[in-house]
Structure 1
Amino acid sequence: MCLKKNCGFSLLEVLISIVILSLTALGAVGLQLDTLQTSRQAAYHSIAVALANELAEEMRSNEAQMKLPDGENLFSSIKYDSRTDNNPPKSSTCYTSSANCGPVELARADIYEWLSNIQRSLPGGRVVVCRDAEPYSEAKASLKWSCSSDARSGFVIKIGWNSKKSQKETSESNEVATPHVAIPVESYVR
């Protein structure tokens, strides 16, 4: 026979254990969502690095364009924001056996294809290709969009996109917070 005080669990003990179990489950769900967001950002980062390397190789392979001064070099004037700019300007197709494309047409085709990939692959993708001696800001401890435009500096491909963190940073402006990737491009041509 049991005494009234010691017979089983009281309703209060059961409710407390349910609350503790619920808080633990909510914590696990929150952790899972954070892991999913981090995985997504890592995938975007990998895509951006691959796209930057792709453009760097296209720039290096178009020797005639890379020999031109910056004002005439089509690669040096790439500034694109998929949130505000229209679709990239279409160009002729230079990837068929019947195509007769020179360096300018080939550069336009490469840029069109590349910007289309940026638009499809990165949410709110933004790109700047410029000469920049210091793409990293020591004061802000981050990459920066502005360029030094020093003709002696090498080209830098800067890519950014909307991420959960950058949306908080830029909630009042219509700008991607900072570039997530900056790849220097050294031309094979001098």
Structure 2
Amino acid sequence: MRARGYTLPEILIAVVVLALGIVGGVALQMSALRARHQAVLLSQATHMAVALAERVRANPAQADLYLTLNYDAYAEPVPHAPACLCHGDACAAAQLALADMYEAKLLVRQSMPAGRVAVCRDAGVWSGGKLRWACEGGAASPLVVKVGWRGKNPDGTPLKDAAGEYAPGVALVVGAVP
């Protein structure tokens, strides 16, 4: 009577198939984690942009002061605090605008990897179907709030646009502010 069982090549093929399945599962899990992280960043950026736009709407006389906000956490790691933070104290409209901008800088610095926030006048937010940081300006252009972070390629290298500049991971334009 002959013994029946699996041969060594059959076992090796089964191990290879199992290993490929495990590697595929791990790759899928990593992709899901990256997508979740991007979704969290997008949600935080949206919340920050909406909050800052509402602050600008609440203090329209200082729109020109808000237009000076162009903060890059990568270039300026620690934002400088204004003289008055307006927490529980009465303060002038300009002081409130400076405090709002400081708080926006802190939120971007704490919540975004190499985050950035900008308030500018921009009629052409999209360039070639892609969001961009550059603002076209012009007095008739709408005032917009852009919040984002420096994007990365799948291999971890910085994502740059055609001009060789860092492309935003996302730049959200939250309405036109009069």
* Offset at residue 168 of structure 1 (A): 4.5
In the alignment, the residues of structure 1 paired with residue 27 and residue 139 of structure 2 have an alpha-carbon distance, to the nearest angstrom, of: 49
The answer as to whether partners of 1:158 and 1:179 remain within 8 angstroms in 2 is no
Aligned pair partner of 2:23 in 18, 26, 29? 26
Q: 1:135 aligns with which of 121, 125, 131?
A: 125
Deviation at 1:59, TM superposition (A): 0.2
- Residue matched to 1:81: 72
Whether the aligned pair in 1 keeps the contact of 2:86 and 2:99 (CA below 8 Å) is yes
Post-superposition offset of 1:164? 3.5
What SS does the aligned partner of 2:144 have? strand
Please state if 1:93 is matched with 2:90: no
Q: Which stretches of structure 1, 4 residues or more, deviate above 2 A after TM superposition?
A: 162-171, 173-176, 184-187
| Structure 1 residues 121 and 174: alpha-carbon distance in aligned structure 2, compared to 1, 3 A threshold | farther
Q: Aligned Cα RMSD in Å?
A: 2.2
Map 1:52-63; keep pairs closer than 5 Å. 52-63=49-60
Gaps of 5+ in 1: 67-72
* Aligned equivalents of 1:12, 1:170: Cα separation in 2: 48
Superposed, 1:26-175 pairs within 5 Å as: 26-66=23-63, 73-91=64-82, 92-96=84-88, 99-137=89-127, 139=128, 141-165=129-153, 167-170=157-160, 175=165
Provide the aligned length of Structure 1 versus Structure 2. 174
Distance 2:142 2:109 in 1: 25
Greater mean alpha carbon deviation, residues 83-92 or residues 175-184: 175-184
TM-score normalised by structure 2 residue count: 0.89
- Flag structure 2 segments of 5+ consecutive residues without an equivalent: none
Which of the pair has more CA radius of gyration? 1
